Amino acid sequence: MKKILGYCDNWSAIAGGTVQFKISTYGPDRYEAALVRVICGDNEPEHGIFKEEEIDAPLNGEHAGRLQPIDAGSYGVVPQSPAIDNLTSFTIQAWIFPTTPEKGEQAIVSNWRDDLAAGFALLIDDKGALTLRLADGEGKTSSVSTGKPLAERRWYLVSGSYDAATNEIAVCQKPIVETLERLEAADNTETAGGFASAGAPLMFAAFPAVLSNGKSASAKHFNGKIDRPQLLSGAIPAGDIVAAWDFAQGIGSDKFHDTGPNQLHGNTVNLPSRGCKGHNWSGNEQNWQHAPQEYGAIHFHDDDLYDAGWETDFTYHVPKDLKSGAYAIRLRAEDDETYVTFFVRPAKGTKTAKLAFLASTVTYMAYSNYHWLFHQRFSETTETLWTTLEKADVFLQEHNELGLSTYDTHSDGSGVRFASRLRPILNMAPKTPCWSFNADTHILGWLESQGIEYDVITDEDLHDEGASLLEPYSAVLTGTHPEYYTTPMLDGLRHYINGPGRLIYMGGNGFIWRCALSDQMPGVIELRRSEDGIRYRDEEPGEYYLELTGEYGGLWRRLGMPPQSVVGVGTIACGFDSSGYYQRTEDSFSPRVDFIFDGIGKDEVIGDFGLLGDGASGSEIDATDPMMGTPVHTLIVARSEGHSANTLICPDEIGFHHAAMDGVQSPIVRADMTFFETPGGGAVFSVSSIAWAASLPHNNYDNNVSRVSGNVVQRFLEEQPFALPETTG
C-alpha cells in the first residue's frame, strides 16, 4: 500500500531557481525526505544498474506528515451575486447531453448550501430522471421529478422553475426532435415547502462540498455536456433574463461568459473539455473557431483533474552551481518509498556542456498515471503478456482522484484529452517500469558511464524558447520515446536541424502526435487523437480541433509534417514480446559514416542483447519512407531483423486489412538506422527503436550498441561541420 505521495510545481528548474514540493501521507505522521541525482532508475535486481547520488540539501531529513485531499471532478463556478441571491421566483434551463444518467445523483446547476439548508438545484436523481430541489432555509426540502429516466448520450432541453406566488415547482425534460428513436418528453409540477436563497456561488455540474482539510470543493458531479444555460427571474413563461451563459466564449481558457445584463461570468475547475459540439451542431463545420455558435457545450467529467491544489511542504532553492541533470526528492514513510522527479537545467541562454539531453516531459505527461493496462479488455493481447499490477497501479485503482492519462477513458467512456503534472504522478520516477521516463535513465546511466558531459533541458523549455534553447549546443540527444510534440517544439527542432545543429534520435515512435500546451494553464497537455494512428481510444467526431490552440489535432503525418521529414524515419511497427537486432547494410560502408562503425566488424550483429526483449530493435520501431519525406541523401546504415509474429505494422501504414503484416512474414517490419547531413553543416542520426537504449547497459556498458552510440556522440560534438554529398537527388 502506498503511504506517501508528492509532486512539485515545476519539472524544469533553472540553476539558481526554486522548486516547491507538496507532500501527502496516507497514514504515517512522519516521513523522511532526501534529494538525489538520478543516474539510472532501473532497479530490477538482475540488471544491477540502479544508481542514485545523494545530494546535501536543507530539505533532507524528517518532516511532519499530513493527508492532503484532492477535489477531483470538473465543474463551473459563478461567484456569489445579488442578482442570484435576491431571486424569489426563478427558472433555470439548459441543453444537456448526459453520458451516465444511471450513475446516481448528479448536479446540473446548483445554488446550494447544506449547512443552511437553502437554495436550489437542478439535477439528475438516483433514478436517472430530471429533478428540481428546493430548500427553505429552515430544514425543509422540496423536490419534483419527471419520473422518467433520461436516455444516455441524447440531447435534452431541461428546465426547473419555482413560482413564489403559487408556491409551485415544476420540471420539464424535452428531447431533441431530430433523432431516429422515440424519446418522450416528461414534466411534472408539485407544491413546494418554500424557498430561501443560498447566498452562495452558483455551480455547474456539481454540488458544493468541503474537503477534510476544510477547503471548498465539489461533489455529485455531472457526466456529460451542458450547453447554453440560462437563469430567469420568474417562473415559465414569465420572467426576465438574469444570466445567459455562452460557453462558446472563452474556449481555450478556464473562463466562461454571461451575455446577460448582469455579466455573471465564471470559471471552470479541473479542465472540463471545451470546443465541444452543442445541441445544434449541424455537421457542416468541424472547426469550432469557424462556427462557435455550434460549439457551445462544455463536457464535464467526474474524474477530471488539473491541479491537486496541495499546500507546499518545503521549497528547494537550487544552487547556482548544481550540476544539470535529473533529480528527485526521495520520500520514505514507514515501509513505503516514492520519488518526486524534476530536472535542473542551466540558466536561460547558457550551457555547461556541448551535449544536451532533451527530456521528453510532454510525453511523460501524456502517459502520467497510465491506467490503460488494467482498464482495457484487449490490453493483454496488445502487450502479449499477463497484466501485472505494481503497488502504484493498485493505489491508482483505489484513488481515482489522482487523475488519468491521455491513454485512458473517463468513467463515462469518453477519451481523456488532458493530463497534468500538477498532481502526484506515480509512473514518472525511478524504480518504476522501464517505459518513458525510467527507460530514458538507461541513456543517462550510459552517459555517466562513458564520462560524457551533458546538460538536461526539457520539452516545456523547447516549447517556450524554441530553437534558441538548442542552438548553444553542438548536439542534442533525445530520449527513447519523444512521441508528443507541440507546434512550437517541432518548429524549434526543425530550425535547429536546418542550421549547424546535430540531432541524435535515440528512440522510436517519436514526433508522432500534435498536442498543445497552454500559457494560461501551465503544466497540462491537450491531445485529440483525430482520424488515424494507434487507437488506444477514439476521438469524438466533430471535435478534432484542439481547444488550447485551435489547431487540428492528430498525427503529424496527417498534418503534412511526418517524422520522416524531420528525422528521416517514422513509426512502422510495434511489438512488445521480443526484440530484434541490426545488420549492417551496404550504405554503412560509405566514407560518410565511417565514424559510426569505428570498431564494428563488417558482419558484426549489432544489438542481439538487451533488457527490453533481449534485443536492440523492438517495442516500437521506425523506418524510412521517401513518400513521407525521408531526405534523398539519407543513408540506411543498418536494418533490423529477427522480429516476432507479434510485431505488427501500425494501422496508419495499412490501407486495408490483409495478411503478412507481422515481423515474421513482412519485410516492411524493420527498424532503419539512418544518417543524413543537413545544409547548415549539421546532421541527424536515428536508431529508430525504443529498445535501443535498454541494450546500452549490457556487459557493463561494453558492447556494440554502446560503441555505435558513443561514436556518434563523439563525432557530433566535434567542431568540423558535416558536408552534404555532392549529389542529393
> Per residue in 453-479, pLDDT tens?
999 999 999 999 999 999 999 999 999
Spatial CB neighbours of 215, under 8 Å, sequence gap ≥ 6: 69, 71, 309
Local structure of 699: helix, strand or coil: helix
Helical segments of 354-436, H only: 361-366, 379-383, 391-398
**Tally of CB atoms within 10 A around 707:** 18
- Position 670 scores a pLDDT of 87
Helical segments of 345-458, H only: 361-366, 379-383, 391-398, 437-450
Half-sphere exposure of 150 (CA within 13 A, CB side): 37
Phi, psi for residue 512 in degrees, rounded to 5? -100, -55
Mode of pairing for the β-strands spanning 617-623 and 524-526: unpaired
pLDDT at 16 over 90: yes
Alpha-carbon distance of 31 to 153, in angstroms, equals 47
**Tally of CB atoms within 10 A around 349:** 10
> Average per-residue pLDDT in the chain?
94
Per-residue pLDDT averaged across 38-66, rounded?
98
In 570-644, DSSP assigns E strands to 570-584, 617-623, 635-641
Mode of pairing for the β-strands spanning 570-584 and 617-623: antiparallel
Alpha-carbon distance of 577 to 59, in angstroms, equals 42
End-to-end CA distance of the chain: 61
- Position 698 scores a pLDDT of 98
pLDDT at 319 over 60: yes
- Position 509 scores a pLDDT of 97
Phi-psi region of 479 (alpha: psi -120 to 50; beta: other; left: phi over 0): beta
- Position 657 scores a pLDDT of 61
pLDDT at 117 over 70: yes
Across the beta sheet with 4-8, the strand order is: 4-8, 18-25, 314-317
Alpha-carbon distance of 394 to 591, in angstroms, equals 54
pLDDT at 39 over 90: yes
294: cell is 455550434
Find the helix or strand (DSSP H, E) in which 378 lies. none
Q: Is the peptide bond before 563 cis (omega within 30 degrees of 0)?
A: no
pLDDT at 381 over 70: no
Better-scored residue on pLDDT, 383 or 191: 191
Mode of pairing for the β-strands spanning 156-163 and 635-641: unpaired
Residue with cell 522527479: 341
Alpha-carbon distance of 321 to 325, in angstroms, equals 12
Confidence band, pLDDT 50/70/90 cuts, at residue 380: low
**Tally of CB atoms within 10 A around 664:** 12
Looking at residue 606, the DSSP 8-state letter turns out to be: B
pLDDT at 659 over 60: no
Q: Which of 504, 496, 508 is nearest to 454 (CA)?
A: 504
Contact 227, 279 (CB under 8 A): yes
Mode of pairing for the β-strands spanning 355-359 and 475-478: parallel
Contact 573, 669 (CB under 8 A): yes
Spatial CB neighbours of 337, under 8 Å, sequence gap ≥ 6: 4, 330, 331, 431
* Residues paired with 5 in a beta bridge: 24
**Which amino acid belongs to residue 505?**
Y
Spatial CB neighbours of 298, under 8 Å, sequence gap ≥ 6: 76, 204, 205, 225, 226, 227, 247, 256, 268, 272, 273, 274, 276
- Position 373 scores a pLDDT of 66
Alpha-carbon distance of 75 to 304, in angstroms, equals 9
pLDDT at 243 over 70: yes
Q: Residues of the chain with pLDDT > 90: what percent?
A: 88
- Position 375 scores a pLDDT of 66
When mean pLDDT is compared across 450-454, 459-463, 650-654, 705-709, the lowest value belongs to: 650-654
Alpha-carbon distance of 134 to 163, in angstroms, equals 12
Half-sphere exposure of 211 (CA within 13 A, CB side): 14
Per-residue pLDDT averaged across 324-332, rounded?
98
pLDDT at 636 over 60: yes
Alpha-carbon distance of 327 to 570, in angstroms, equals 31
Q: Which of 653, 694, 695, 693 is nearest to 670 (CA)?
A: 653
pLDDT at 727 over 70: no
Contact 620, 669 (CB under 8 A): no
pLDDT at 180 over 80: no
- Position 236 scores a pLDDT of 78
pLDDT at 229 over 90: yes
Q: How far is CA 278 from the centre of its chain?
A: 25
pLDDT at 183 over 70: yes
Find the helix or strand (DSSP H, E) in which 148 lies. strand 141-149
> Domains of the chain (ranges plus CATH)?
4-69+310-344 (2.60.40.10), 75-300 (2.60.120.200), 355-716 (3.40.50.880)
pLDDT at 350 over 80: yes
Spatial CB neighbours of 132, under 8 Å, sequence gap ≥ 6: 92, 120, 121, 122, 123, 143, 144, 160, 161, 162, 169, 170, 171
- Position 371 scores a pLDDT of 83
- Position 64 scores a pLDDT of 98
Q: How far is CA 542 from the centre of its chain?
A: 21
Find the helix or strand (DSSP H, E) in which 704 lies. helix 704-716
Alpha-carbon distance of 262 to 257, in angstroms, equals 11
Per-residue pLDDT averaged across 101-108, rounded?
98
When mean pLDDT is compared across 70-74, 311-315, 387-391, the lowest value belongs to: 387-391
- Position 390 scores a pLDDT of 78
- Position 21 scores a pLDDT of 98
Q: How far is CA 161 from the centre of its chain?
A: 41
Q: Which of 704, 674, 681, 694 is nearest to 479 (CA)?
A: 694
Better-scored residue on pLDDT, 656 or 209: 209
Local structure of 51: helix, strand or coil: strand
Alpha-carbon distance of 588 to 595, in angstroms, equals 10
Burial class (CB in 10 A: 0-12, 13-18, 19+), 628: middle
Per-residue pLDDT averaged across 695-705, rounded?
98
Global pTM reads 0.96
Contact 419, 19 (CB under 8 A): no
Spatial CB neighbours of 656, under 8 Å, sequence gap ≥ 6: none
Confidence band, pLDDT 50/70/90 cuts, at residue 182: confident
pLDDT at 262 over 70: yes
Helical segments of 342-429, H only: 361-366, 379-383, 391-398
Alpha-carbon distance of 367 to 482, in angstroms, equals 12
Alpha-carbon distance of 199 to 82, in angstroms, equals 8
- Position 619 scores a pLDDT of 95
Q: Residues of the chain with pLDDT > 70: what percent?
A: 96
Confidence band, pLDDT 50/70/90 cuts, at residue 388: confident
Q: What is the DSSP string of 270-296?
A: S--EEEE--TT--SS---TTT-GGG--
When mean pLDDT is compared across 123-127, 374-378, 533-537, 701-705, the lowest value belongs to: 374-378
